[in-house]
Amino acid sequence: YDDRDGKIWMDGKLVEWRDANVHILTHALHYASSVFEGERCYNGKIFKGVEHSIRLRKSAELLDMEIPYSVEEIEAAKYAMLKANGWTDAYVRAIAFRGAGQDMGVSSGKNPVRLVIAGWEWGAYYGDAKMSGAKLDIAKWKRPSPETIPTAAKAAGLYMICTMSKHAAEAKGCSDALFMDYRGYVAEATGANIFFVKDGEVHTPDPDAILNGITRQTVIGMLQAKGVKVNVRRILPEELADFEQCFLTGTAAEVTPVGQIGDYTFEVGQLVRDLAAEYEALVRS
């Protein structure tokens, strides 16, 4: 991704894609002092852009970092980056992190918090699974307790186990991995939230040890508006045997049906198909 034409917004300026570098003694690279956002721009408008900017600032706060830009400034920077690249439809990646500075130890009080906004063109996150249903492996790693790490932050440190679990899943021919949490309840995938359908009702995990996705919240609202009951609760892995349909939600994943988790199979049914189409219409409206 480093050798191409384009512009990236770095600390207040648009720079050439190839020059968007950081020093090797950047604190974040050593100690994961980094938080980020993934957003999608559709037809020139970033879906829930402000919500993403607010979450970015909150994630930073949870890591004791203050982003030196307001929500309004972050919004303006995203659109400046999109315009400079001539994109109306793109994935937007904002990342805030502690840079290189006076401290190279764990403590980094004097190192500046930097903000970078890049983007790229990104199609369906799970490829053909969008139609046929994604196949998920069950991760051997568990989502940690909120007493262990700030699980509400979209922080780089939480993605170490995501990359490891996704690699293990891909080696088995799956598109992603489903995490259980530290208590053993169903949690989320490596970059998306999970939902199940049974007897016309929807079930999804409590957001206490997962990222409470912006797409998750949008989809819960859409289902409730249609009169579908959404049960937000603790879900045991044994229940996977009883659910009829399953789907993932996320900015990149949008609404993607799941056909298989480990040995359990699910139909790509009407509720999931309708919801995927309604989500598509909403983000483009």
Task: Please name the residues in contact with 232: beta carbons below 8 A apart, sequence gap of 6 or more.
Answer: 204, 205, 206, 207, 220
Nearest approach, Cβ of residue 261 and ligand PMP (Å): 16
CB contact at 8 A, 203 and 235: yes
Near ligand PMP by CB under 6 A: residue from 192, 223, 261, 271: 192
CB contact at 8 A, 82 and 47: no
38 counts as binding ligand PMP under rule CB under 6 A: yes
Bridge partner residues of 134 (DSSP): 258
Nearest to ligand PMP by Cβ — which residue? 213
Chain residues 5-34 in contact with ligand PMP, contact rule CB under 6 A: none
188 counts as binding ligand PMP under rule CB under 6 A: yes
Site string for ligand PMP, 105-144 (x = CB under 6 A): ----------------------------------------
Nearest approach, Cβ of residue 250 and ligand PMP (Å): 4
259 counts as binding ligand PMP under rule CB under 6 A: no
Catalytic, 154? Answer: yes
Chain residues 57-86 in contact with ligand PMP, contact rule CB under 6 A: none
Of the two residues 10 and 156, which places its CB atom closer to ligand PMP in the complex?
A: 156
Which listed residue (110, 154, 172, 198) is catalytic? Answer: 154
Near ligand PMP by CB under 6 A: residue from 6, 213, 257, 259: 213
215 counts as binding ligand PMP under rule CB under 6 A: yes
Site string for ligand PMP, 155-174 (x = CB under 6 A): --------------------
Near ligand PMP by CB under 6 A: residue from 65, 115, 178, 211: 211
193 counts as binding ligand PMP under rule CB under 6 A: yes
Residues 102 and 93: their CA atoms lie apart, in Å, by 27
DSSP output for the chain: --SSS-EEEETTEEEEGGG----TT-HHHHH--EEEEEEEEETTEETTHHHHHHHHHHHHHHTT---SS-HHHHHHHHHHHHHHHT-SSEEEEEEEEE-SSS--SS--TTSPEEEEEEEE----TTTTHHHH-EEEEEEEEEEPPTTTS-TTS-BGGGGHHHHHHHHHHHHTT-SEEEEEETTS-EEEESSSEEEEEETTEEEEE-TTSS---HHHHHHHHHHHHTT--EEEE---GGGGGT-SEEEEEETTTEEEEEEEETTEE----HHHHHHHHHHHHHHH-
Nearest approach, Cβ of residue 138 and ligand PMP (Å): 16
Of the listed pieces 6-14, 117-125, 208-216, 269-277, which binds ligand PMP according to CB under 6 A?
Answer: 208-216
Applying CB under 6 A, the site for ligand PMP has a residue count of 14
254 counts as binding ligand PMP under rule CB under 6 A: no
Interface with ligand PMP (CB under 6 A): 38, 154, 188, 191-193, 211, 213-216, 249-251
Residues belonging to the active site = 154
